[in-house]
Amino acid sequence: MASANFDPTKAEASPAERLIEFPDNRLLIDLCGGFDRNLAALEAGFDIVIARRGNQLSLHGPADGVEGAEAALTALYQRLEAGRPVEKGDVDAAIRLRGEAQPPDPGQLEMFRGGKVEIRTRKKVVEPRTATQRAYVQSLFRSELVFGVGPAGTGKTYLAVAAAVSMFSEGKVDRIVLSRPAVEAGERLGFLPGDMKEKIDPYMQPLYDALGDLLPGRQVQKYIEDKVIEIAPLAFMRGRTLSDAFVVLDEAQNATEMQMKMFLTRLGEGGRMAITGDPSQIDLPRGVGSGLVEAERVLKGVPGIEFVRFAAEDVIRHPLVAKIVKAYDADGERGAAPREA
């Protein structure tokens, strides 16, 4: 029988020790990383101490931290056993996800059964690094229209492009269409040198970068030349029906309300759409409403449409980016006058 003075919060924080043995010493070296940098990251992430003893790792610290670190180490070691490298981003993902496998879900897509959520492309395998990213990836493969909303650096666009490339490679769609509004802060198309393509390309560069990371460069170029992959400003979408295509609209916060409605109604038979944006970075002229903000208000709760919201905790760029996002969010909550959109 439990004591009347039992305090579950203190019990959870009580010190614990765990000894984990790894049979392959070569893989253990890769698991620890150069100068034990991976172990140092896990120690900081779980607030524990890790000591290496031959082919064993000894974990000391709060019970929940030890448990989380054990799960993360096990997941990373299994990754090495499968022949995949363990890099800094993988360690960070293991800390964020605490080594958790996807919980069983009877309605889960067959491709994600068994707990592993990943996107396979011809050049690489893309794995979610936060719980929100994991939910977002599942939404991209489950629903025909998905909104990814949140701050910069959370992987919204990259994961959407990766899903598009994966579905195209598997023959689930016939083409890929990537689009952005040609709106930026402080500069307009007319002031840039060159013809229309040269003016537009700087705005589209993040989409080119994502494609280049997921497909061989020559293949990307050939697909673009054959118009199997199309990268175009939002204004070029009017009057079209995008059937059997995976369409990604990036920086959707800079689409006007009319542009957003026009874009959403381009969806054709066999098509899919992913719309990404950050409502805190609207560059539209004052008094012009954001189509992304209106779409979330109007379409929230419509069957077949999913909204996935990212937060500062999902930022996977430099750690300072997450701190910057949090600082601006906190400033807004203190009543700083927001920019009119």
What are the residues whose beta carbons fall under 8 Å from the beta carbon of 109, sequence distance 6 or more? 138, 141, 142
Q: What is the mean pLDDT of residues 11-18?
A: 68
Q: Is the pLDDT of residue 39 over 80?
A: yes
Give the tokens for residue 114. Answer: 């068994």
Q: How far is CA 303 from the centre of its chain?
A: 23
Can you list the domains of the chain with their CATH numbers? 12-97 (3.30.1370.10), 110-333 (3.40.50.300)
Q: Which of 248, 257, 235 is nearest to 208 (CA)?
A: 248
Q: How far apart are the first and last CA of the chain?
A: 61
**pLDDT tens for residues 320-338?**
777 787 788 787 766 554 4
**pTM exceeds 0.85, yes or no:** no
Alpha helices in 37-87 (DSSP H): 37-46, 63-81
**pLDDT tens for residues 239-254?**
898 999 999 999 999 9
Q: Is the pLDDT of residue 95 over 90?
A: no
